[in-house]
Amino acid sequence: MAHIEVIAEYSDKGAMLWADAYPGAYARGETVSKALEKFPKNLSVFAQWAYGVPMPDLAESDFVVTHAYKTDLAVEDADGNVLFPSERLPMDMTEYTQKKQLCLRSAQDFEKLLNSIPQKDRALRKSRRTFYGKIPCSAREMADHTNRTLEYYASGLGIAFENEGGLFENRKRLFRAIESTPNFLLPRVHEAPDGELWTLRKLLRRLLWHDRIHAHALWRRAITFWQKDRIANPFFFTAEK
C-alpha cells in the first residue's frame, strides 16, 4: 500500500501528528518517533468510527512524515497552530459536505458519551493549569470546553459567532454561519486576531481532532470511576493513551 502521509508539529517537550488524508486522526507522544508508534492503532480506531471499517493491519512502516514543524507552543498540552500545505487547496461541495457530516456526527457522539456519565459534575482528574488556563476536570467541564472552542475556531475564518446551546446544536449553527459567507468554499487563508493562519479545511480538521482528544480523555477517565459497559463509547476508543 502507499505510505500514509503524516504532518508533525513538535517542541522539546512533545509532539503531535496528524494523518493528512484522515482529518481527525492524530497521535501524541514525547517525541515524533514515540507518537508515530501509536499511529497505526489510532488511525484504525478513527477509521472504524469514521468509515465503519477499521484498518487493523497497519504498521509504523506504513507512515511517512512529510512535513515537520518545530514550535514554541505547548504541544505537550495539545497546543498547536500548523496549517498543512494541503489545507490551502480548493475544496468542492461534495468533500465539504462529507467532512461537515463527520463533524456533526462527532458532536452527536460526544453528547452520547457525556449523557452516559452518571455524575457529570464529579471531578475525574486533578486540577492543573495549561496554556489555556485551568484544565476541565469534570465531564460537564470537558464538554463545555469543547463547545466553547467553536467561537475561537469561527474567529479564525473571520466569522462573528457566539456560542449558544449544546455541542451538536451549536455546531449546526456554526455551519450555518460558515455557509452564509459568500464563496465560502474558495481556498482563502485567513489570519486570526492572534496571528494563527486558518482555512476552512483546517477548521474541519480541528473540529474533529478537538472532539476526539477531549472525548478520549473523558472516556478514559470515566471508565475508571464506573463500569466500562455503562459508559457509551461511540468513538470505539481503547484504554491506550
Would you state the pLDDT for residue 77?
83
| C-alpha pair distances (Å), 175 with each of 148, 197, 218, 219, 220 | 15, 19, 25, 27, 29
Q: Is 154 or 77 the better-scoring residue by pLDDT?
A: 154
Q: φ and ψ at 217, to 5 degrees? A: -60, -40
pLDDT score at 193: 86
- Is the per-residue pLDDT at 1 higher than 60? no
* Cβ-count burial 36-65 (b if 16+ within 10 Å, e if not): bebbbbbbbbbbebbeeebbeebeeeebeb
Mean pLDDT of the chain: 92
We find that the CATH architecture of domain 4-81 is 2-Layer Sandwich (3.30)
CATH code at 86-230: 1.20.120.450
Q: Is the pLDDT of residue 85 over 70?
A: yes
Q: What is the pLDDT of residue 136?
A: 84
- pLDDT of 128 > 80? The answer is no
Rounded average pLDDT over 80-102: 95
Categorize the per-residue pLDDT at 231 as very low, low, confident or very high, splitting at 50, 70 and 90.
very high
What are the pLDDT digits (tens) for 42-51?
Answer: 999 999 999 9
Q: Where are the domains of the chain?
A: 4-81, 86-230
Read off the amino acid at residue 52.
G
Tens digits of per-residue pLDDT, 162-196? 988 999 999 999 999 999 999 999 989 999 888 99
Question: Over pLDDT 90: what percentage of the chain?
Answer: 77
DSSP state of 61: G
- Residue in 22, 20, 89, 30 with CA at minimum distance from that of residue 51: 22
